[in-house]
Chain A
Amino acid sequence: MKKKRSKLRNWRRLSQILCFILFLFLFIKTDYAGKDEIPYAVNILFRIDPFLAATASLATRTLIFLMWPSLIFIGLAFIFGRFFCGWVCPMGSLLDSCNNLIPHAHKGPVSRFHTLKYYLLGFLLFGAFFGLPIAGYLDPFSILVRGLAISVYPGLNVLATTFFTFTYQQMPEWINLVTEPVYGFLKATILPFRQNHFELAFLSLFILLLIFILEKLERRFFCRNICPVGALYAVVARFSMMRGKSGTKCGKCRNCVTLCRMGAIDEERNISSLDCNFCMDCVDLCPANKISFTFQHDGTAVPAFSIKRRTFLSSLAAGAVLPFFLNTRTMAKRPDPFLVRPPGALPEDEFLGRCVRCGECMKVCIGNGLQPTFLSGGLEGMFSPRLNARTGYCEFNCTLCGQVCPTGALTELTLAQKHVTKIGNIFFDKNRCLPFAKGIPCIVCEEHCPTPDKAIQFREAQVLNSNGEKVWVKQPYVIDERCIGCGICETKCPLPGQSAVRLTSAGESRNPQNALPAQSTLY
């Protein structure tokens, strides 16, 4: 037996490992690191994604320049087909690494679900164009990064902190001599700087886990049947120059048919370039060394999409028609006032059209202010970022979210622009605010208000406190023209439960319909 070809899949494994390490490195580096700018292209995974580039561009009817690197990968797909799925994709690498842990029910060539991804792709692209921006619900990188950022990474920190708090408080000194330096090292390298908390942490985790649970049905179920990025690559791969070629007079072992992780090899040992991800297992494991990948493929069968025309057209029609129903909801008339978008966010329609729900902005937000939206932005707005000012705020001198946004849904702002970008306005609830309601001095909000000329001011007033005594207190009020809606006042309000000062989207720069009386320019 010749030995020369036994190493091909090891190269593929090496590539997967290196790409995954790079992915994790960039994920961890999606953070403030002592400089106002992030020095790495931490969002590169999304910018090389041709599917997201397509949906975001269709939604906004513009070519999004930020996403030009995706063209490189489209170009490469014309040569190497779906090699990305086998050699680069971090989601695919994760699924491959779990292969031995999850037994698969079905092995062998494609199942009846495998055309689903084309219908989904058509639906999502049409939907994007007509105004249903949900590409991020199914994009593998959105699911992965969002799940990691919102759930897994903070969870890892809970685990580490719990353990090292236990050793610190309960264990003898000599154990701490070991554990404390370990904790210090972990904190300096892989653990997050602080414990973040997120809404929808469980939902994000569940969606990510679902991809692994689906592995029980068949290997790489998501990649074979659902992944819209894979589907887009498959469309290109139909014309790819390099393809797998099986031998004509091989025996009957059918090894390759059952071991192909993508189900790309049929009973006649034709290797479909629509599904093959160049993992090279078949090449290395064919007992007769009959399989090879070449640029010459005369005689090999041209793969067919085998989609049903009627179903495909229906999915396109659904994508084209559903968006019109979005405007039947009350939120088209008056959006949720507590839906405060990050600074630099485009007007709502364009913002949602571009937002790929990757969670990068929430990962990088140093105030832990940005949270995934649940339903307040509509069914199509889930996982888009909003500022929940009670649990975190927008740091005055920080512009990181705009820097990491891969599609420009959040514009990259300079610090000077950020300082005057109004994302909302606050109001005081005088029934709760201590100087008004109880005659107790407080004005923590005024202390934290970051605009150089403070948006929160106070008046001294004499009120009755709960003992019936007349006391002088400082009562806060807001100057709308100065408030930029950072929400630090709501975060720091020392009342338990709901804050006495609340942030709403009123007056946000991006929406003139939402103007405050003081800014009104319409009349």
Chain B
Amino acid sequence: MDRRDFLKQIMLWSAGITTAIPSFQIVPEILAAEKPSPLVSHATGKDYHKLVAQVLEPLGGISKFVNTGDNVVIKPNMAWDRNPAQAANTHPQVIKALVELSLDAGAKKIMVFDRTCNEERRCYVNSGIQEAMETVKDRRLKYFHPDSRKYVPVDIKRGKAVRQLSIYRDALEADTYINVPVAKHHSLSRLTLGLKNSMGVLGGDRGQMHHNLGQKLADLATVVRPKLTLIDATRILLRNGPQGGDIDDVRVMDTVIASADLVACDAYATTLFDLQPEDISSTVAAYNMGLGEMDLTRMKIIRA
């Protein structure tokens, strides 16, 4: 949309000639051309704890994202009653490393939580994340089960498939929201990555998200906006996702991917599964809404 078009629409609307609410939609191609190409960093190694600091280095380190005195939400995927080797949840070492880096960066409070699919306590324990959190001896770290009173209804103004969602308050109010999904197979959305991981901050009946899932996830991403997305691909689940359970379905990749651009991060992660970004409907929907880049040729991919 250019300036003339914009003014024309405003005039028509103000004069009541058109009753259609002007949609100031930004065409993604133009947006992409205007924005500098997003940085996607990936790193490979056996020491998952070190790997996290390593992958953040090209992006400017954790201090680029976490400032002194910030309230930080670190949102892993620990939705399933599965152990770390089964690759259904984010690796506990990855979460622990992020927590420790954020603490060093001067965060005031760090919150780690997820709304699980299996029984809450079993998921926290079996994912190994609770145990990893217990070893961090710092009172600024809070890991807890979501409190049902703290979901607030949020209007999704730019939403195409949903108008309102109930979202966890801490996720909305955080200074820094860090999205830490695990990359894995999912039968409906093919893969679950960064966009899908945000479902863990939703209240209410999440099953209905599944009808037109891709667009609804993109709608959700208009209000829950991670400053940093770090995809855990240390081991990836190739089949029987999203919860797996069979070690034969797991491939060890020893890789993590990070970017400030959620869509770009998801787009790059598809290549680990020999898929294309276009194969994932949420990635396409989010790109079309101008939420990030999905064209692999237009991002700066750095091996850290």
Q: Which residues of A contact B (CB under 8 A)?
A: 32, 34, 164-165, 168-169, 193-194, 366-367, 395-398, 434, 440-444, 446-448, 450-454, 458, 474, 492-494
Q: What per-residue 1/0 map shows which CB atoms of B110-149 lie under 8 Å from chain A?
A: 0000000111111001100010000000000000000001
The segment from B15-23, B30-38, B205-213 that touches chain A is B205-213
Cα distance A453–B240 when bound, in Å?
A: 7
Contact A447 B186 (CB under 8 A): yes
Residue of A nearest to B249 (CB): A452
Contact A34 B125 (CB under 8 A): yes
Which residues of chain A come closer than 8 Å to B210, judged between CB atoms?
Answer: 441-444, 447, 494
Cα distance A450–B118 when bound, in Å?
A: 10
5 tightest A-B contacts by CB? A494-B207, A452-B245, A452-B246, A444-B207, A366-B119
Query: Nearest Cβ distance between residue A177 and chain B, in whole angstroms?
Result: 16
| Residue B226 lies at the interface, judged by CB distance under 8 Å to chain A | no
From A164, A396, A453, give the contact of B246 (CB < 8 A): A453
| Residue B164 lies at the interface, judged by CB distance under 8 Å to chain A | no
Contact A395/B212 with A443-B187, A447-B187, A494-B205 known, Cβ cut-off 8 Å: no
Which residues of chain B come closer than 8 Å to A168, judged between CB atoms?
Answer: 149
Which residues of chain B come closer than 8 Å to A494, judged between CB atoms?
Answer: 205, 207-208, 210-211
Cα distance A452–B245 when bound, in Å?
A: 5
B residues 218-268 near A (Cβ < 8 Å) are 240, 242-246, 249
| Residue B85 lies at the interface, judged by CB distance under 8 Å to chain A | no
Cα distance A454–B122 when bound, in Å?
A: 20
Contact A442 B211 (CB under 8 A): yes
Residue of B nearest to A454 (CB): B240
Cα distance A165–B186 when bound, in Å?
A: 36
Contact A474/B187 with A34-B121, A366-B119 known, Cβ cut-off 8 Å: yes
| Residue B172 lies at the interface, judged by CB distance under 8 Å to chain A | no
Number of interface residues of B (CB under 8 A): 28
Contact A450/B119 with A397-B81, A443-B187, A494-B207 known, Cβ cut-off 8 Å: no
Contact B211 A441 (CB under 8 A): yes
Which residues of chain B come closer than 8 Å to A397, judged between CB atoms?
Answer: 81, 118, 122, 126
Q: Can you identify 26 A-B contacts, CB atoms within 8 angstroms? A: A165-B149, A193-B121, A194-B120, A366-B121, A395-B81, A397-B122, A397-B126, A398-B119, A434-B211, A440-B211, A441-B188, A441-B210, A442-B207, A442-B210, A443-B187, A443-B188, A444-B207, A444-B210, A446-B188, A447-B186, A450-B118, A452-B245, A453-B240, A474-B187, A492-B117, A494-B205
Cα distance A474–B117 when bound, in Å?
A: 21
Which residues of chain B come closer than 8 Å to A193, judged between CB atoms?
Answer: 120-121
Cα distance A169–B150 when bound, in Å?
A: 9
Cα distance A441–B125 when bound, in Å?
A: 32
Which residues of chain A come closer than 8 Å to B244, judged between CB atoms?
Answer: 452
Cα distance A45–B186 when bound, in Å?
A: 47
Contact A446 B205 (CB under 8 A): no
Which residues of chain B come closer than 8 Å to A441, judged between CB atoms?
Answer: 188, 210-213
Which residues of chain B come closer than 8 Å to A444, judged between CB atoms?
Answer: 207, 210
Which residues of chain B come closer than 8 Å to A493, judged between CB atoms?
Answer: 207
Contact A398 B211 (CB under 8 A): no
From B121, B186, B243, give the contact of A32 (CB < 8 A): B121
Which residues of chain A come closer than 8 Å to B149, judged between CB atoms?
Answer: 164-165, 168-169
Contact A447 B188 (CB under 8 A): yes
Query: Nearest Cβ distance between residue B189 and chain A, in whole angstroms?
Result: 10
Contact A398 B207 (CB under 8 A): no
Given contacts A32-B122, A444-B207, A474-B187, 16 further A-B contacts (CB under 8 A): A366-B119, A367-B119, A395-B118, A396-B81, A397-B81, A397-B118, A441-B210, A444-B210, A447-B186, A447-B243, A448-B243, A450-B81, A458-B187, A492-B207, A493-B207, A494-B210
Query: Nearest Cβ distance between residue B140 and chain A, in whole angstroms?
Result: 17
Cα distance A440–B161 when bound, in Å?
A: 14
Q: What per-residue 1/0 map shows which CB atoms of B79-102 lie under 8 Å from chain A?
A: 001000000000000000000000
Which residues of chain B come closer than 8 Å to A169, judged between CB atoms?
Answer: 149
Contact A395 B245 (CB under 8 A): no
From A395, A440, A492, give the contact of B122 (CB < 8 A): A395
Which residues of chain A come closer than 8 Å to B121, judged between CB atoms?
Answer: 32, 34, 193, 366
Contact A396/B207 with A34-B125, A447-B187, A453-B240 known, Cβ cut-off 8 Å: no
Query: Nearest Cβ distance between residue A441 and chain B, in whole angstroms?
Result: 6
Residue of A nearest to B244 (CB): A452
Residue of B nearest to A368 (CB): B119
Q: What per-residue 1/0 map shows which CB atoms of B187-208 lie under 8 Å from chain A?
A: 1100000000000000001011
Most buried by A among B81, B119, B244: B119
Residue of A nearest to B130 (CB): A34
From B119, B205, B207, B243, give the contact of A395 (CB < 8 A): B119
Query: Nearest Cβ distance between residue B89 and chain A, in whole angstroms?
Result: 13
Which residues of chain B come closer than 8 Å to A451, judged between CB atoms?
Answer: 245
Query: Nearest Cβ distance between residue A295 and chain B, in whole angstroms?
Result: 52
Which residues of chain A come closer than 8 Å to B186, judged between CB atoms?
Answer: 447
Query: Nearest Cβ distance between residue B17 and chain A, in whole angstroms?
Result: 31
Which residues of chain A come closer than 8 Å to B213, judged between CB atoms?
Answer: 441
Which residues of chain A come closer than 8 Å to B211, judged between CB atoms?
Answer: 434, 440-442, 494
Query: Nearest Cβ distance between residue B237 and chain A, in whole angstroms?
Result: 11
Query: Nearest Cβ distance between residue A475 and chain B, in whole angstroms?
Result: 12
Query: Nearest Cβ distance between residue A477 and chain B, in whole angstroms?
Result: 13
Query: Nearest Cβ distance between residue A319 and chain B, in whole angstroms?
Result: 42
Cα distance A450–B122 when bound, in Å?
A: 14
Which residues of chain A come closer than 8 Å to B246, judged between CB atoms?
Answer: 452-453
Cα distance A178–B16 when bound, in Å?
A: 54
Residue of A nearest to B117 (CB): A448
Cα distance A284–B120 when bound, in Å?
A: 53
Query: Nearest Cβ distance between residue A465 and chain B, in whole angstroms?
Result: 11
Contact A447 B212 (CB under 8 A): no
Which residues of chain A come closer than 8 Å to B122, judged between CB atoms?
Answer: 32, 366, 395, 397-398
Contact B187 A450 (CB under 8 A): no
Which residues of chain A come closer than 8 Å to B125, judged between CB atoms?
Answer: 34
Cα distance A440–B130 when bound, in Å?
A: 37
Cα distance A440–B81 when bound, in Å?
A: 28
Contact A396 B188 (CB under 8 A): no
Contact A447 B118 (CB under 8 A): no
Which residues of chain B come closer than 8 Å to A395, judged between CB atoms?
Answer: 81, 118-119, 122
Contact A474 B188 (CB under 8 A): yes
Query: Nearest Cβ distance between residue A293 and chain B, in whole angstroms?
Result: 49
Query: Nearest Cβ distance between residue B133 and chain A, in whole angstroms?
Result: 13
Which residues of chain B come closer than 8 Å to A452, judged between CB atoms?
Answer: 240, 244-246, 249
Which residues of chain B come closer than 8 Å to A434, judged between CB atoms?
Answer: 211
Residue of B nearest to A444 (CB): B207
Which residues of chain B come closer than 8 Å to A440, judged between CB atoms?
Answer: 211
Query: Nearest Cβ distance between residue A175 and chain B, in whole angstroms?
Result: 15
Residue of B nearest to A458 (CB): B187
Most buried by A among B122, B208, B244, B246: B122
Contact A447/B242 with A397-B126, A442-B210 known, Cβ cut-off 8 Å: yes
Cα distance A494–B205 when bound, in Å?
A: 7
Cα distance A32–B130 when bound, in Å?
A: 15
Cα distance A454–B188 when bound, in Å?
A: 14
Which residues of chain A come closer than 8 Å to B188, judged between CB atoms?
Answer: 441-443, 446-447, 474
Which residues of chain A come closer than 8 Å to B242, judged between CB atoms?
Answer: 447
Most buried by B among A169, A447, A454: A447
Contact A450/B243 with A397-B126, A441-B212 known, Cβ cut-off 8 Å: yes
Query: Nearest Cβ distance between residue A189 and chain B, in whole angstroms?
Result: 16
Contact A32/B119 with A441-B188, A450-B243 known, Cβ cut-off 8 Å: yes
